[in-house]
């Protein structure tokens, strides 16, 4: 199945992926209204070490620890995509405790969130990939 992959050597560290992600998942149609002067909670984040930067988002693992560990039974995998049921999640962050990539994080309401490939939001395809100016994040079969 298609997943989001990172080409570290192309990453400029511009953080556009974070903004595009936060906008795509905001439910709003105006990017300014969605992001200006607000704390943002993107589901992809840039890590930096010296000159190296790269994006990190959910790997949709074959054997996801978050799914097995969720104390509320709120995380499951459907058609290869790991999804969090926001209604069931109580924000205990056990998924944050176990995610080996640091890719699950608390969202604005305290409930956990992570990349779900933008398949159910207005973007319809990963917004981080769509907006990446240097092909440092791609959405493809590998």
Partner 1 sequence: MSKYVIIGNGVAAAGCIEGIRSADKESEITVISAEKHPVYSRPLISYYLEGKTTLEKMNYRSLDFYDKNNTELIYATAEKIDAKKGEVTFDGKKTTFDKLCLATGSSPFIPKMNGLENVKSKFTFMTMDDSLALEKALKKDSRVLIIGAGLIGLKCAEGILGRVGSVTVCDLADRVLSSILDSECADVMQKHLESKGIKFLLSDSAESFEKNKAKMKSGETVEFDILVLAVGVRANVQLAKDAGAEVNRGIIIGTKMQTTLENVYAAGDCTEGFDSSAGANRVLAILPNAYMQGYCAGVNMAGGESSITNAIPMNSIGFFGLHCTSAGSYFAKGEGEIYEEKICGGIKRLYIKDDRLTGYIIIGDVTGAGIYTRLIREKTDLSGVNVDELKKDATLAIFLPETRRKMLGGVV
81 binds partner 1 (CB under 8 A): no
Task: Give the closest residue to 84 by CA, choosing from 115, 59, 55.
Answer: 115
Six token digits for residue 142: 């590998």
Q: Where are the beta strands (DSSP E) in 30-110?
A: 45-49, 52-56, 75-78, 81-84, 105-106
Smallest gap from residue 64 Cβ to partner 1 (A):
10
Choosing from 12, 30, 33, 71, the residue that interacts with partner 1 (CB under 8 A) is 71
108 binds partner 1 (CB under 8 A): no
**Using CA atoms, how far apart are residues 106 and 115, in angstroms rounded to an integer?**
12
Q: Residue 112 pairs with which residues in a beta bridge?
A: 106
* Between 109 and 122, CB nearer to partner 1: 109
91 binds partner 1 (CB under 8 A): yes
> How far is residue 80 CA from its own chain's centroid?
15
Choosing from 28, 30, 38, 90, the residue that interacts with partner 1 (CB under 8 A) is 90
Interface of this chain with partner 1, residues 6 to 65, rule: CB under 8 A: 6-8, 47-49, 52, 54-56, 59, 61-62, 65
**Using CA atoms, how far apart are residues 71 and 40, in angstroms rounded to an integer?**
26
Q: Are 104 and 82 in contact (CB under 8 A)?
A: no
* Residues making contact with partner 1 (CB under 8 A): 3, 5-8, 47-49, 52, 54-56, 59, 61-62, 65, 68-69, 71-73, 87-88, 90-102, 104-106, 110, 142
């Amino acid at each position: 199945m298609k997943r989001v992959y990172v080409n570290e050597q192309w990453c400029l560290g511009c953080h556009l992926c974070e903004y595009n992600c936060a906008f795509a998942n905001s439910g709003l149609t105006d990017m300014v209204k969605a992001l200006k002067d607000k704390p943002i909670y993107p589901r992809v984040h840039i890590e930096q070490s010296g000159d190296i930067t790269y994006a990190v988002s959910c790997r949709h693992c074959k054997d996801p620890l978050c799914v097995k560990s969720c104390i509320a039974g709120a995380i499951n995998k459907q058609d290869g995509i790991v999804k969090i049921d926001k209604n069931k999640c109580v924000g205990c962050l056990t998924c944050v405790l176990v995610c080996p990539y640091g890719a699950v994080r608390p969202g604005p309401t305290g409930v956990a969130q992570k990349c779900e490939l933008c398949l159910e939001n207005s973007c319809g395809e990963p917004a981080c990939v769509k907006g990446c100016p240097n092909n440092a994040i791609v959405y493809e079969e590998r």
